[in-house]
């Protein structure tokens, strides 16, 4: 019996000696919290661009964007964008469109999912999204259609 207890005690001592090494390994694999500078970042980042496979005929490209607004700690999803044939990018706020076919007198409802009191935040987000979308689709777009010049006779 003493030999078994002695073996158990040895294993326990070995584990105790190895514990600090394992703790450091676990700390390396643990998710790291953002530093104070990262947590207080300003600006807007595009987290993902999701193009639609078959856009409407009047657009070259359509899709949705996922973005992060650091100043207010908000992640916004399903921000629709489109690029027309003149390579103009249009970005809209996320919205829901509700149809009421059963109630003919009731108009369809267009409801924005998010609205900012400070318009500067959304304007900055739109500019960042436009540049990111154009960068993403630069190689996919054909040359822009330019208006034809009138021939003078």
pTM tops 0.85:
no
pLDDT value at residue 124: 92
Q: Mind listing the pLDDT tens digit for each residue in 33-73?
A: 333 334 445 789 999 999 998 889 999 999 999 999 998 89
pLDDT value at residue 118: 85
Q: Mind listing the pLDDT tens digit for each residue in 81-108?
A: 999 988 899 999 888 888 877 877 878 8
Count how many domains the chain has. 1
pLDDT value at residue 149: 53
| CA of residue 110 relative to chain centroid, distance | 23
Asked if residue 27 belongs to a domain, the reply is no
What residues make up the domain containing 67? 38-137
pLDDT value at residue 2: 52
Q: What does the alpha-carbon distance between residue 19 and residue 29 come to, in Å, rounded to a whole number?
A: 15
Asked if residue 78 belongs to a domain, the reply is yes
pLDDT value at residue 63: 94
Q: What does the alpha-carbon distance between residue 114 and residue 61 come to, in Å, rounded to a whole number?
A: 24
Asked if residue 109 belongs to a domain, the reply is yes
Alpha helices in 30-118 (DSSP H): 36-39
pLDDT value at residue 91: 93
Asked if residue 83 belongs to a domain, the reply is yes
pLDDT exceeds cutoff 60 at 19: no
Alpha helices in the chain (DSSP H): 2-29, 36-39, 119-137
Percent of the chain with pLDDT over 90: 31
Which of 132, 130, 134 has its CA nearest to residue 122? 130
Asked if residue 146 belongs to a domain, the reply is no
pLDDT exceeds cutoff 70 at 17: no
CB 108 within 8 A of CB 100: yes
Asked if residue 22 belongs to a domain, the reply is no
Asked if residue 52 belongs to a domain, the reply is yes
pLDDT exceeds cutoff 70 at 139: yes
Q: What single-letter DSSP state applies at residue 116? A: -
Asked if residue 153 belongs to a domain, the reply is no
């Amino acid at each position: 019996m003493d030999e078994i207890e002695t073996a158990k005690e040895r294993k326990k001592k070995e584990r105790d000696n190895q514990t600090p090494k394992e703790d450091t390994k676990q700390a390396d694999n643990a998710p790291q919290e953002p530093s104070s500078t990262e947590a207080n970042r300003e600006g807007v980042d595009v987290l993902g661009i999701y193009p639609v496979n078959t856009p409407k005929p009047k657009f070259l490209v359509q899709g949705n964007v996922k973005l992060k607004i650091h100043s207010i700690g908000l992640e916004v999803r399903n921000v629709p964008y489109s690029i027309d044939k003149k390579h103009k990018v249009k970005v809209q706020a996320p919205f829901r469109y509700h149809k009421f076919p059963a109630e003919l007198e009731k108009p369809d409802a267009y409801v924005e999912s998010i609205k900012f009191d400070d318009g500067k935040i959304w304007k900055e987000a739109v500019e960042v999204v436009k540049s990111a979308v154009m960068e993403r689709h630069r190689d996919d777009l054909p040359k822009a259609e330019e208006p034809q010049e009138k021939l003078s006779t």
